[in-house]
Structure 1
């Protein structure tokens, strides 16, 4: 069975790029989103509509992805769990998550959450740019090309 591309789609800014590359490399894709985020997607895009619970999309992805699949997500915690399963996890900015960096990313995430709970202001992500979009496209295309030749 061929690997698939899964997308944590609720706030994914690179849907068009994913669809384009999935078609180019003839990969099935599944966009996972809550019913509160109604999306108009082309007919060849499979969807999984989940509840609005905070972790519903994550749980769906954890239950359905398998080794050698690709998952696009901004969620560091989800990415850390996917990597353990042998899934390639990419951010919409084109960052390919690695097991080696996960401890630091999760520690930083925890520290920021703790600071916010204590009433401190923390920096959010920088504005998504056209350069981020291009970086993502190249990263996903490289990953798909690697899979094609392995």
Structure 2
């Protein structure tokens, strides 16, 4: 069992390290660079070459049954769910076989809407303390459930 973090723009890397260390799990922090490596022996910082979705491909090729993946990237989440991994978004929302299809369809719809209206601005909300707290709780529950598999 391992934890894979899609680390580019991930606001919960330190939380993952704290919870993963408490459970003695190997963690892979995957990005295109620009991250300070952790001194924690359980954390491996993986720097992938620049390019579209290279970090996502690295994670998707390795994550499987019993692993936990942290990502906000919906296509990556879909691949990992299909491989049997437990997937969490940064706000603690679990992406599962039961909901990933709807989440992926919504993402695609929003992409189309933004493309149709170039003046459409953002609409997303910021990352809050409540999101961080929900993530910590969800990660703890997910790891415990994955250990039971």
Considering the TM-score relative to the shorter chain, is it more than 0.5?
yes
8 Å contact kept, 2:66–2:147: no
Where does structure 1 lack aligned partners over 5 or more consecutive residues?
none
Task: Give 2:2's match in structure 1, choosing from 1, 4, 29.
Answer: 4
What displacement does 1:120 show? 4.5
Please give the per-residue CA displacement for 1:11-44, whole angstroms capped at 9, x wherever unaligned. 1101111001111000000000002x23342242
Aligned pairs, number? 147
Equivalent position of 2:143 in the other structure? 144
Q: CA RMSD in A?
A: 1.5
Q: Does the residue aligned with 1:71 lie in a helix, a strand or coil?
A: strand
1:32-71 matches, within 5 Å, as 32-35=30-33, 37-44=34-41, 45-71=43-69
Q: Which TM-score applies when normalising by structure 1?
A: 0.90
1:18 aligns with 16
Structure 2 residue ranges without an equivalent (≥5): none
